[in-house]
């Protein structure tokens, strides 16, 4: 077969696949109904949309399934997702807080040498890699089940995966344990502000949020 024809076929196949995935993503996450609230628009979506996990679509839109909306977890999830709305509305303020108070920097560039595929989370999609103390890169590895996708820490100095450093645990965990969603500062802060924590990181976050209100 002529090499140009083969190339053309490959390009057409790639385009067709792109269109297919765009259409299927749109249909699985399209709003079944919309509920305006005093802080953000809630879109009720199908359980196929990001495997039914609540998330934010943009700086003013929260998505969740009908069963989550009707569950006893609704208010807690709204508090959590509204923190993500604020992060999307004020990315510069959050980035400055992470840098100054938590020593984190966010980036969309994977560190050289890291081969693991990333699990896409709409709430951290802008900058999914979180670099702590300019060395430890936190991210979520891709996994068929989004709920159990493993959090990984990459030591950029050693060029290898590692456990969270003890200094990180001392700052971000309390006597009850470490946050469930510890992969990214956006998730750490949403969890702290929703569930509370005695961790030093949670205390400085609370202080910063209170200072914005006065
Ligand atoms: Zn979240």
- In the reported structure, the alpha carbon of residue 152 is separated from the centroid of ligand 1 by a whole-number distance in angstroms of 17
**How far away, in angstroms, is 64 Cα from ligand 1 center?**
12
Q: Report how far ligand 1's centroid is from the alpha carbon of 5 (Å).
A: 47
List the chain domain ranges. 32-72, 90-213
Please name which of 100, 191, 110 lies closest in space to residue 152, comparing C-alpha atoms: 110
162 forms bridges with which residues in the sheet? 153
Contact call for residues 155 and 134 (beta carbons, < 8 A): no
Whose tokens are 């965990």? That residue is 173
The answer to whether the CB of 110 falls within 8 A of the CB of 117 is no
SS3 call for 182: coil
Determine the 3-state secondary structure of 200 from DSSP: helix
190: CA distance to ligand 1 center in Å? Answer: 6
> How far, in Å, is the centroid of ligand 1 from the Cα of 23?
25
Q: For residue 93, what is the DSSP state?
A: H
Give the model's confidence band at 17: pLDDT under 50 very low, under 70 low, under 90 confident, else very high.
low
CA distance 20 to 24: 6
CA of 159 to the centre of ligand 1 (A): 28
State in Å: Cα 55 to ligand 1 middle.
Answer: 7
Confidence check: pLDDT of 18 > 70: no
Give residue-wise pLDDT tens across range 139-194.
999 998 888 999 999 999 999 999 999 999 999 999 999 999 999 999 999 999 99
Orientation of helix 74-89 relative to helix 185-195, angle to 10°:
140
This prediction has a pTM of 0.86
d(CA 204, CA 198): 10
DSSP 100: I
Tell how far the Cα of 121 is from the centroid of ligand 1, in angstroms. Answer: 9
- Residues 40-47: what's their mean pLDDT? 97
Instruction: Write out pLDDT tens, residues 55-80.
Output: 999 999 999 999 999 999 999 999 99
108: how many CB neighbours lie within 10 A of its CB? 11
The secondary structure element, H or E, covering residue 87 is: helix 74-89
Question: How far apart are the CA of 189 and the centre of ligand 1, in A?
Answer: 9
**Residue pLDDT, tens place only, 116-140:** 889 989 999 999 999 999 999 999 9
């Amino acid at each position: 077969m002529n090499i140009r024809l083969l190339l053309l076929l490959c390009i057409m196949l790639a385009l067709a696949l792109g269109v297919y995935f765009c259409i299927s993503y749109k249909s699985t996450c399209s709003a079944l109904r919309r509920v305006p609230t005093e802080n953000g628009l809630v879109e009720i979506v199908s359980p196929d949309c990001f495997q039914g996990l609540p998330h934010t679509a943009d700086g003013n839109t929260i998505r969740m399934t009908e069963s989550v909306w009707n569950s006893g977890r609704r208010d807690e999830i709204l508090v959590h997702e509204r923190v993500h709305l604020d992060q999307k509305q004020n990315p510069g303020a959050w980035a400055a807080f992470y840098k100054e108070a938590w020593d984190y920097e966010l980036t969309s560039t994977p560190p050289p040498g890291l081969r693991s595929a990333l699990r896409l989370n709409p709430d951290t999609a802008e900058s999914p890699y979180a670099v702590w103390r300019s060395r430890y890169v936190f991210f979520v590895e891709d996994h068929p089940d989004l709920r159990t996708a493993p959090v990984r820490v990459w030591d950029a100095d050693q060029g290898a995966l590692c456990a969270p450093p003890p200094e990180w645990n001392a700052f971000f965990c309390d006597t009850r344990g470490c946050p469930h969603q510890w992969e990214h500062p956006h998730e750490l802060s949403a969890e702290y502000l929703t569930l509370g924590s005695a961790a030093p990181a949670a205390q400085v976050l609370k202080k910063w949020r209170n200072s914005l209100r006065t």
